[in-house]
Amino acid sequence: MKMKKIMSVAAAAALTASLMAVAPTASAEETYHAYIGVQSASFTFRNAWNEETYGLGKTGDDGMVYFDQLTGWDGPTAVNKGGVFTDAEITGDGTYTVSVTDFDFGDDETLNLLFVSTDIPQASGATISDVKIVMDGQTKYTFDDAYLSPYEQEYL
């Protein structure tokens, strides 16, 4: 079965990206997930869901659950920079939205990274295309195809 997904990503009230993925080998019974990832110029971040130290379900020695917030730094101390996340459960053809709002990037005016991490296996045959970045309600960038990280060997 062909699975088509559109994922919208919003970082702050100022930033949105849309991704369309097509997974020709997925079945209707499979459920996948999509998560927004971001890193600001001062390294305030939410990493990919499967990252060993700061990913989904990881708790720091200080009890902080990094994946549930944007994490910044005060010297060597992790600081909660807020963030309300909406992650997507992908169950078949349709439109899906992932977002983060209500956070503090401080004086940062640029991003080092803005991405969507999924648990869609690379072997599924899925592709991601029609990427759109929107800032302040205006489309700023569009890409026919998504850049897939060469460091991620298992998931899109």
For the chain, how many structural domains are there in total? 1
pLDDT for residue 39 is more than 70 = yes
pLDDT computed for residue 55 by the predictor: 96
pLDDT computed for residue 4 by the predictor: 34
Asked if the structure places residue 156 within a domain, the reply is: no
Nearest to 81 by CA among 62, 64, 61: 64
Asked if the structure places residue 30 within a domain, the reply is: yes
Q: Mind listing the pLDDT tens digit for each residue in 76-94? A: 999 999 999 988 888 866 6
Asked if the structure places residue 79 within a domain, the reply is: yes
- State how far the Cα of 46 lies from the Cα of 23, in Å rounded to an integer: 26
Asked if the structure places residue 92 within a domain, the reply is: yes
pLDDT for residue 15 is more than 50 = no
Asked if the structure places residue 45 within a domain, the reply is: yes
- State how far the Cα of 48 lies from the Cα of 105, in Å rounded to an integer: 18
* Mean of pLDDT values over 111-122: 90
pLDDT computed for residue 28 by the predictor: 52
pLDDT computed for residue 104 by the predictor: 84
* Mean of pLDDT values over 17-45: 72
Asked if the structure places residue 151 within a domain, the reply is: no
Asked if the structure places residue 22 within a domain, the reply is: yes
Query: 3-12, 89-98, 107-116: which has the highest mean pLDDT?
Result: 107-116
Q: Average model confidence (pLDDT) for the chain?
A: 78
Nearest to 7 by CA among 34, 25, 32, 28: 34
pLDDT computed for residue 27 by the predictor: 54
Asked if the structure places residue 152 within a domain, the reply is: no
Residues spanned by the domain of 32: 3-145
